[in-house]
Structure 1
Amino acid sequence: MQLLNTLEQQLRHAGLWSQHAPVQGVDSHVPFAADIMPFQQWLQFVLLPRLRELCEQDKPLPSMAVAPAAEMYLPDETAIIDTLTQLDRLAAGTEHD
């Protein structure tokens, strides 16, 4: 899905892409795993792989609202927020990729 590739490119361009996965596992019960990793790492190591897997399996995206979190955690990254807004809308069935 092009939006996922766009999000990855935007994270890389903004210098928010990590070369190494977090040392801790991604087993968190806190929204966006905020207790164990920065939001941009959650996008990279949790959201992107899960959404890509769903796309590869031709399954629908879950209803989600990630853009509001991006507005809080990455307020200056308008391109990333816009892409996440599009993903949220696509998952809600109100926009097409």
Structure 2
Amino acid sequence: MSAEVQTRLYAIERELRALSWWQREPPSAAALASTEPFCLDTLTFPQWLQFVLLQRLQAMLDAGMPLPVKVSIYPMATESFKSLAEDTRALEEAIAGLDEALSGETVVREP
């Protein structure tokens, strides 16, 4: 499972870069310390993906820690991207793949 999760993390990073959403500088420590789900009050969803989700899962993989199995990131992604002009389908698919790799369950895609 860890190799598949690693592949999915790389896919998300690749799509964030392709959309020019990958940032060199991290948000402030205060922004990252948000207690809201997905840091909705302090980060954009792409920032949350890069600076929270990807980093935490990578740290867990590196440490050999058990990975979460109850995940559902895809619905938040599709909702967050609805009003954007960019074509986010490849990023949404990468996120759905991560959900599936972690949960072992099929993600129902939006039409």
Which TM-score tier does this pair reach, normalised by the shorter chain? Answer: 0.7 to 0.9
| SS of 1:28 mapped into structure 2 | coil
Aligned-pair RMSD on alpha carbons? 1.5
Unmatched runs of 5 consecutive residues or more in structure 1 = none
| SS of 1:29 mapped into structure 2 | coil
Q: Percent identity?
A: 33
Please report the TM-score for the alignment, with normalisation by the length of structure 1: 0.88
- Which among 85, 89, 92 is matched to residue 81 of structure 1? 92
| SS of 1:15 mapped into structure 2 | coil
1:71: which partner in 2? 78
In the alignment of these two chains, the number of paired residues is 95
Please report the TM-score for the alignment, with normalisation by the length of structure 2: 0.78
Larger Rg: 2
**What CA deviation, in whole Å up to 9, does each residue of 1:30-52 have, x standing for no partner?**
11001001010000000000111
> How far did residue 89 of structure 1 move?
1.1
Unmatched runs of 5 consecutive residues or more in structure 2 = 1-5, 107-111
Q: Using the alignment, how far apart are the partners of 2:15 and 2:100 within structure 1?
A: 19
Segments of 4+ moved more than 3 angstroms:
none
